Amino acid sequence: MNARTLMLRNVVALVVASSGIFVICTLQSCTSVASGPSQPAVDISGTWEGSTSAGCFMARGRCNAYRLITMSIVQNGSNLSGSYTCAYGNMICLGDMNSGTIATGRVDGSYVPDLGVQLSNGVDCLYQGHFTGNQGEGGYMCLYGGRMLEQGSWQLKRKS
pLDDT digits (tens, 9 = 90+) for 93-136: 988 899 999 999 999 999 999 999 999 999 999 999 999 999 99
Torsion of CA 57, 60, 63, 69, to 10 degrees: -100
Domain harbouring 68, CATH code: 2.40.128.120
Q: Is the pTM of this model over 0.85?
A: no
What's the domain count of the chain? Answer: 1
Residue 146's domain comprises 3-158
